[in-house]
Amino acid sequence: MTAASPWEDELQADFVPSADADLPSGLASLIEPEVIMQGLESDSELSSDSDEEDNDDFLDGDEEQVRGEDSDGENSDEDPDIFDWESFKAPGLSASDQLGEEYEREAAVIAHKLTAYDLAICRAFSFKVRSNLTDKAFKMTPFAFPQNPPLPALDGICSRVNFLSGFKPQIYDCCVNSCLCFVGRHENLTKCHYCNEPRWRANGKARKKFTYIPIIPRLVAFAGNRDMAEQQQYRANHVHTPGITTDVFDGQHYRSLRTKHVEINGQKLPHKHFEDRRDVALGASWDGFAPFKRRKKTAWPLILFNYDLPPELRFLLEYILALGVIPGPNKPKDSDSFLWPAIQELLRLAAGVRAFDVLSGKLFALRAYLILVFGDIPAVSMFMRMKGNNGISPCRMCKIVGLRIPGACGTVHYVPLDRSCHPEVRANRSAIKVYDAGNLPLRTHDEIIAQGKEVEAAVTTAQADRLAKKYGVKGVPLLSYLPSLSFPQSFGYDFMHLIWENLIKNLVLLWTGEFKGLDDGREDYELSKAVWEVIATETASASDTIPSAYGSRIPNIAKDRSNVSAEMWSFWTLYLGPVLLRRRFKHVKYYRHFIRLVRLLNLCLKFEITDDEIESI
């Protein structure tokens, strides 16, 4: 499952953290990433496009510009190979690795025995991190909670915790506008080749940095911690029941991986995916968010989930593996460059790294595989290197072709199944008139990679743009180097964004006559302003008698919907909506339509779902 890519550089051997780094038990959950947000309030702002996709427009008189014309001299990013593949070819443990087993066994016994003073330091650090305490407020805690001997200042506490953890975050230069990270093929650039902003200040220091938190030391620490090692037995103990899905391990992708040997850069390794009970399954999630009220600037958190943990634990904050935050202020132009450190580690983990299993008391080759990536539509499109929902070929799963709105001069496309009356379709005899929703032309992994290679092999920029618009693929994603990912099956849109942040919000806008200036046409489903205000008032008052265990208090949704969270929309849709909307519509069919939606959502949210139910969805 190899792929050609413009990422053409040698992997730096001293870049990857040591596989045998020790992390004392209990501290992994305390280490939080240093969120680098420098420059978010910079005077030189670029417009934010975190929620936008590429707009495909026709090329009118584009010059046949030769691609990569600025890729020589001091800003060259062309090197012979993307990774040092030799560093990933030695699975298992060497003889020298195994010689240290007795030392690891003895170290595991004393790893938990921190001094009382170190424990006090760790508790203070944990208190600050978990409570989001400001530095100013934290400096006042010695007066409220005196300690004898007194704890060091905040800098000293952070320094000590950093020492006890056994590993450090990795700091990389990045573009001041977050276009790219200066790693890999960009390592030797002196300026960003997207915005031309210089990399360094006059004093030689980087203008902005990206902080990356290594994966390997934390997974090694989990294997050496008895509590975590026992909790991570969930995957190994999971038993698949045919016809029933209860977890990701019942999915076709995971079960298919278990039958395949790991393959890195075309070389098949001796082991199969997940053949060891201690192998770790990982899922990734990333999404852009606007940290300030004006929402003009964005940052992009990168996190991993440990699927070896039980479902009731894996999504809790203390078990989430934070990789870092792409600092903003804009959506990255080269998102792969920010993933480059993680891909290196994941390739090492696919081959195997040295770790100590506290349960068996033996050294072993720890392996971990990224099997799922999810986020909202812009995030998934960005990391798959696809055009996204505004493109001519917008779908990541199928090859349906988008159409322009007749008579409109915009570049946005839409994808009706029945397009037989559209002027463009009627004028083209070979165009598909009607798509069968149950039999759409699906994309395949090999096809996506081949199309990405074709785009990157284009001689001119104009040719590359034409191919990208035709295929909906802008290049070969760096994630395609991971043997455990399958394009597009491994890339899903998360339920929160798809339903609670989009579908339900848009449905409410439709009911209230506020959806993109559209009226109800030949139908009559709009609710009057007075009726909606009554529903909103009853929504707010209902919170007085609903226990807080059910969720956050829902405000008046007619006055200000900007502060209504996905959790609130979820509770309103599933529990309040069916009651409050009853007999509110002029025709009962609209209420019945909503109830059918609620039943469908409840089916999707079941902890156990059958194949027949999946088929019905």
Q: Is 590 part of any domain?
A: yes
C-alpha distances (whole Å) from 314 to each of 74, 245, 367, 565 are 45, 18, 18, 22
Number of domains in the chain: 2
The pair of structure tokens assigned to 105 is 């066994």
Pairing of strands 368-375, 491-493: parallel
CB 280 within 8 A of CB 353: no
Q: Residue 196: which region, alpha, beta or left (left: phi > 0; alpha: psi -120 to 50)?
A: left
Alpha carbons 507 and 570: distance in angstroms, whole number:
13
Write down the pLDDT at residue 105.
66
Write down the pLDDT at residue 460.
94
Q: Is 228 part of any domain?
A: yes
Helix or strand run (H / E) with residue 593:
helix 588-604
Write down the pLDDT at residue 84.
67
Alpha carbons 613 and 617: distance in angstroms, whole number:
6
Write down the pLDDT at residue 63.
46
Q: Is 82 part of any domain?
A: yes
Which amino acid type is present at position 500?
A: W
Tell me: do 377 and 511 sit in the same domain: no
Write down the pLDDT at residue 479.
97
Alpha carbons 201 and 203: distance in angstroms, whole number:
5
Domain boundary among 352, 384, 416: 384
- Beta bridge pairs of residue 66: 460
The residue with tokens 């020790």 is 22
Helix-then-strand count for the chain, H and E: 23, 15
Tell me: do 196 and 337 sit in the same domain: yes
DSSP 240: P
Alpha carbons 518 and 520: distance in angstroms, whole number:
7
Q: Is 504 part of any domain?
A: yes
pLDDT mean values, one per 10 residues, the chain (617 residues):
45 36 34 34 37 52 46 45 62 62 65 82 92 92 89 93 86 96 95 96 96 96 94 96 96 97 93 97 90 75 97 94 92 95 97 94 95 93 91 93 83 89 91 93 96 96 94 96 96 93 94 83 89 95 91 91 91 96 95 96 95 90
The residue with tokens 């209902």 is 542
Tell me: do 72 and 207 sit in the same domain: yes
Tell me which residue of 535, 537, 527 sits closest to 585, measured CA to CA.
527
Q: Is 549 part of any domain?
A: yes
Write down the pLDDT at residue 298.
83
Tell me: do 504 and 373 sit in the same domain: no
Alpha carbons 495 and 604: distance in angstroms, whole number:
9
Alpha carbons 290 and 296: distance in angstroms, whole number:
7
The pair of structure tokens assigned to 49 is 């496009």
Tell me: do 115 and 246 sit in the same domain: yes
Q: Is 409 part of any domain?
A: no
The residue with tokens 């600025």 is 70
Domain boundary among 384, 407, 439: 384
C-alpha distances (whole Å) from 141 to each of 30, 134, 148, 160, 546 are 19, 11, 13, 18, 36
C-alpha distances (whole Å) from 592 to each of 303, 480, 575 are 39, 44, 15
Alpha carbons 108 and 356: distance in angstroms, whole number:
8
Tell me which residue of 530, 103, 41, 537 sits closest to 292, measured CA to CA.
41
Domain limits at 505?
Answer: 495-616
Indicate the burial class of 416 (C-beta count within 10 angstroms; 0-12, 13-18, 19 or more): middle
Q: Is 399 part of any domain?
A: no
Domain boundary among 319, 352, 384: 384
Q: Is 389 part of any domain?
A: no
Alpha carbons 558 and 512: distance in angstroms, whole number:
10
Which residues touch 387 (CB under 8 Å, ≥6 apart)? 53, 54, 56, 381, 393, 394, 468, 469, 472, 473, 474
Tell me: do 501 and 374 sit in the same domain: no
